[in-house]
Amino acid sequence: MAKLVAPHGGKGLTCCLLEGAELDAEKKKAEGLKKITISAREEGDLIMMGIGGFSPLTGFMTKADWKGVCDDFLMADGTFWPIPVTLSSDKADADAINVGDEIALAAASGEIMATMKVTEKFEMTEADKTYECEKVYMGEGTPTAEEFWKIAKDDHPGVQMVMNQKNVSLAGPVKVLTEGEYPVKYPGVYMRPAESRKIFEDKGWSEVAALQLRNPMHRSHEYLCKIAVEVCDGVYIHSLVGNLKPGDIPADTRVKCIDALVKNYFVDANVVQGGYPLDMRYAGPREGLLHATFRQNYGCSRMIIGRDHAGVGDFYGMFEAQTIFDKIPTPSDEGKALLCTPLKIDWTFYCYKCDGMASLRTCPHGKEDRVLLSGTMLRKGLSEGTEIPDHFGREEVLVILREYYASLTEKVEIKTHKAAMGS
């Protein structure tokens, strides 16, 4: 009988989203609580705790959790976790809150997303934020702090996110009241971990590979998926439907591209498409670990990790997101360990001499014979109206993307980097 990998943390899916009479009562109570406005990143983290995507997390992290995750990939109770999940507040608001208070967490729109019981308040100084950035966001592409900070404040959106956080963090368990716009905006795509698990179980799958997508699906992504289908029971094409950096392509357009590819180039029975509500952190290797951690909750036992996974610019080594899996701790309690393992795949491309998709492990030919595939270069070419090379993307996808770029009234400059250029 098919058996999926267990959710992370050893406690099953820990879902903080309320329903029915309990939800109605908590919404009414929330109206009378002190309100804290949260960031878009915190909103996504909150929804993931609501639906069980961040199991075993049931609230925002304490100072001990934050420090343990930064230093050792471990929360205070010894559970593996790769990136801090914290909630920030300005000092004036924090001074008006006592430990033990219940507060309401509101989106920028004013919608109350959750309630939270504050169990700890801790300061996040500039030195603390700098420490988090160097531990979580600094990679082999900028091996020294001096090199990192020369460009990080201007060019790394994840670093900017951390440094712009308010100066006090609030920790404590949450009760989530809504999933925001996602169920309505992305029907049939956005799904909870319990829903993806049900689909996989109904298909009889045990070994499921996840493909992380934040760019439109080009030929390299297609090839990665097909490799996974060959070695696993099926593949979960799992797109980020939260916020991206300027110049990235929005989720509704990317979903159309995936639909076109699955319809025309995959055996439908072996592929499931889904979406999740986080913002990208662009943390490269650490984010690759986070992707594997919450994909385990969605029922995936393998995480496809290719070239420059979740990277930005030249901050990370080309395959640093693969090698980091070999360096993380393995808690003795299996439930607290990361069980979703990487499916490591080399740099892939179309080779004219091979007459098909290939990788550095399979193709003996030179760079001049290859169409080097990169989401950055695809976005740059489409944005600037230049011709897209043959075999870079499927025509059905390029039609959708050209229509999207033609509809834009304002263009964003797409910066290239070594990985995108094939250097």
List active site positions: 214-215
Cα gap 168→120, rounded to integer Å = 10
CB 398 within 8 A of CB 388: yes
Which residues make Cβ contacts (< 8 Å) with residue 8, sequence separation at least 6?
55, 56, 79, 80, 293, 294, 296, 297, 338, 339, 340
| CA separation, residue 265 to residues 231, 257, 404 (Å) | 18, 12, 22
Closest CA to 244 of 310, 317, 320, 322: 310
Q: Residue 397 in 3-state DSSP?
A: helix
Longest dimension (CA), the chain: 68
Instruction: Tell me 388's DSSP state.
Output: P
Start-to-end Cα distance in the chain: 47
Which residues make Cβ contacts (< 8 Å) with residue 128, sequence separation at least 6?
none
